[in-house]
Structure 1
Amino acid sequence: MHKPAATSTSKIVDVVIIGSGFGGLGMAIKLREAGNDNFVVLEKAGDVGGTWRENSYPGAACDVQSHMYSFSFAPKNDWSKRYAERQEIQQYILDTTEKFGIRPFLRFNREVCGMHFDQTKGLWTVDTAAGEQFVARHVVLASGPLHVPSIPTFPGRENFKGKIFHSAQWDHDYDLSGKQVVSIGTGASTIQYAPEIAGKVARLSILQRTPAWVIPRDERAYADWEKRLFVNLPFSRTLHRARLYWSNESRAWPLFAPRVAAVIQKLAKLFINVKVKNPALAKALTPDYLIGCKRILISNKWLPMFNRDNVELIGAGIKELREHSVLLRDGRELPADCIILGTGFVTDPRIYMKDFPCTGLPGHDLTQDWKESPEAYYGTTVTGFPNFYQLLGPNTALGHNSVIFMIEAQVHYIMQCIKRLQEKGADYLDVKPQVQREFNQKLQAKFVGTAWSSGCTSWYQQAGGKNVLIWPGATWRFWLQTRRVRDADYEFVTCASQSQPAELLDAEPSAA
């Protein structure tokens, strides 16, 4: 593969961060706090936010409590309610960007199209689709696993005369009022937008492949006195966050003990039967797999929505699209003005980097190294790719607590890697193959006997059933194990040809 060489127009920095969602923002803040302003954040879009910039569909909200779904070092005392909606989360990201002075380091509309490591100099070359090139000692990939929409293909799509869009590409200019709408999928996005549009459309047909376990959502707003308490007594907010953290951690135990999960499942089933008036419909909305095997969803609006006369649940798949209808495999034809794809995102790291060539040490191409299965060391470093770090890489996603907690732990670990490299006077570090291999063998063994391995197929898994996304343990263990870098886990290398990064780039407009 061609490896572009640094040119006189290459921009040289110490760290390149790719992505400006929670991960990229958290990394940038901690670099600045450590006195390192020699970095850039490359963002493919025109503003910060990542998932929360992209997902603007009606009803978009977080399923982790507001005070947990935010940085521990950047508290927001006036969250409006227990579970924040998309607009408030995106505003928090924008406010945090300004508060910590990150905007001058942002380079928008810079989609990365390739990364290549030069072992003779210990430097990465990062190429962008805009033709710009950056050379860096360290690269932090903070693009996240949920940013490439999964778009299914249907026979006859070219014949359909109506509107089609994905939930992450919501067309706010299209008026759904009085329309015949077919919504595909019953995942986390659908259960949020469907109840919001059900009251305005003429008919809403929900196509379900597999039902999801849905539990109640705490929609309570924070009272003014609570907000004032968090402001005047910061320790009270710290205690509140701690309570939320440990209550969330307690949710993990049923996942490790299927017998306990079975008890929780009975309560979830009761919730469905109480909220859905039609017994046959309630049964169709009840999963046949152990709770926790797939993502557990939270909503107070999803189940009652099916009591509406204009909402229908359909279990048949699509055979083809016609000019003004959807033909199902059971022969039924649904009139359709609009088709909404609530089909989620591409989550396999091998797939979401398909147009992103990344070569490390000789013989290491990330696509090829991950051809069989994506693996990393604590989801952060990857053998054969020196000074290359991932945020929310393989096996760091969660099914019970806040990924912001995981991001902060990973950022701390990356900062420790950079620090150890400087202390040793080395140019790059590379996690030892046997260390990564043994780590992943032990990690996969932890899935045995858990709800995740109880027989169902989920987006946590790749073909064959291997779970490549979830961290199979308590988050406090991940935090504890990433407090410091064990020198024995890495090879520290000093290059014969020294090439130190230049000083900080001259500031350029962040919107450039």
Structure 2
Amino acid sequence: MVSDTFYPSLLQKHVHFHPSQVKCVSASNKKALITANGETIEVDVVILATGYDYHSWIRPLTIHNASGEELVDIWQASDIRGRYFGLATSGFPNLFHLFGPASRPSQGALSTIAELQAREIIRCVKQLSTLPGQSTMSISREAEDQMARTIYQGIKDSPFAQNCGGWYKNGKGFPSTLWPFTAFRFYRLLEKFDKEKTWIVESSEESIK
């Protein structure tokens, strides 16, 4: 919440902050809410903010690979898969994405990360366009694992990994959405990877139908 007045308003004497989820409106008192912990609270105004489930990622869209694995299931279950700069996931050839796991900037501009991801994706697509038939590119598990380790080392002792809540934490309490370094380091690390070893390229003479 970016505001100069919102947080001070919570400190006023006539304002009471209840950090519990709302279960329902009371059946016996239409001016009262019942919270998830069973407390009944009379209110003057109810502001309905539905929020969001960031860790549903791209759902309701579903994407499966040749093994039948669903992309979001993999991202939710693993702290490794999808963490190659948030732009590719091993086992999903020719699938590129922006702002996958561990690529939302914890500092700096979102657009900078998006531009760096897009530039690498364009490079891959251009390379694919020079290959015959049904050629594919997929990120290697080794590159994915290496980036996952780098990200973990960067975020494990950061404020985002401490004992507090946040939209960036998954069901296990780990900040799985955030890039813990600067955008400049994103650029430097992405440039550092040997593209020939990072990407698995498989060529086929068959034409795409």
Fold shared by both chains (TM-score > 0.5): yes
1:415 partnered with 2:122: yes
1:300 partnered with 2:4: yes
Question: 2:78 aligns to what?
Answer: 373
Question: CA, structure 1 residues 497+315, in 2 after alignment: closer, same or farther (shift >3 Å)?
Answer: same
Q: Name stretches of at least 5 consecutive residues in structure 1 with no aligned partner.
A: 1-187, 189-297, 501-512
| SS of alignment partner, residue 25 of structure 2 | strand
Distance in 2, matches of 1:457 and 1:305, equals 22
Distance in 1, matches of 2:208 and 2:149, equals 37
Tell me the matched-pair count: 200
1:354 CA displacement:
4.0
- Within a 5 Å distance, the mapping from 1:27-426 to structure 2 comes to 188=1, 298-306=2-10, 312-315=15-18, 317=20, 318=22, 320-323=24-27, 324-325=30-31, 326-328=33-35, 329=37, 331-336=39-44, 339-342=46-49, 344-348=51-55, 351-373=56-78, 375-376=81-82, 377-425=84-132
Candidates 170, 176, 193, aligned match of 1:462: 170
Distance in 1, matches of 2:23 and 2:157, equals 38
Structure 1 residues 168-199: Cα deviation after superposition (integer angstroms, max 9, x where no partner): xxxxxxxxxxxxxxxxxxxx3xxxxxxxxxxx
Question: 2:136 aligns to what?
Answer: 428
Distance in 1, matches of 2:10 and 2:165, equals 25
* Amino acid across the alignment from 1:444: Y
Distance in 1, matches of 2:121 and 2:23, equals 48
Question: CA, structure 1 residues 430+299, in 2 after alignment: closer, same or farther (shift >3 Å)?
Answer: same
1:409 CA displacement:
0.7
Candidates 433, 438, 461, aligned match of 2:146: 438
Q: Percent identity?
A: 17
1:347 CA displacement:
0.9
1:464 CA displacement:
2.0
1:357 CA displacement:
2.1
Question: CA, structure 1 residues 472+359, in 2 after alignment: closer, same or farther (shift >3 Å)?
Answer: same
* Bigger mean CA offset, 468-477 vs 298-307: 298-307
Structure 1 residues 462-494: Cα deviation after superposition (integer angstroms, max 9, x where no partner): 122222111011110112333587121111112
CA contact (8 A) 2:65 2:91 kept: yes
CA contact (8 A) 1:395 1:469 kept: yes
1:497 partnered with 2:202: no
1:386 CA displacement:
1.1
Distance in 1, matches of 2:11 and 2:163, equals 31
* Amino acid across the alignment from 1:468: S
CA contact (8 A) 2:75 2:101 kept: no
Distance in 1, matches of 2:9 and 2:111, equals 31
Distance in 2, matches of 1:430 and 1:411, equals 16
Larger proportion of strand:
1
RMSD: 2.7
Question: CA, structure 1 residues 456+497, in 2 after alignment: closer, same or farther (shift >3 Å)?
Answer: same
Structure 1 residues 118-139: Cα deviation after superposition (integer angstroms, max 9, x where no partner): xxxxxxxxxxxxxxxxxxxxxx
* Amino acid across the alignment from 2:200: E
State the structure with more CA Rg. Answer: 1
TM-score computed with the length of structure 1 as normaliser: 0.36
| SS of alignment partner, residue 387 of structure 1 | coil
| SS of alignment partner, residue 401 of structure 1 | coil
CA contact (8 A) 2:57 2:72 kept: no
Q: Comparing both chains, which one has the higher relative contact order based on Cα–Cα distances under 8 Å and sequence gaps of 6 or more?
A: 1
CA contact (8 A) 1:364 1:385 kept: no
* Amino acid across the alignment from 2:196: D
* Amino acid across the alignment from 1:344: G
Distance in 2, matches of 1:455 and 1:378, equals 25
Question: CA, structure 1 residues 314+496, in 2 after alignment: closer, same or farther (shift >3 Å)?
Answer: same
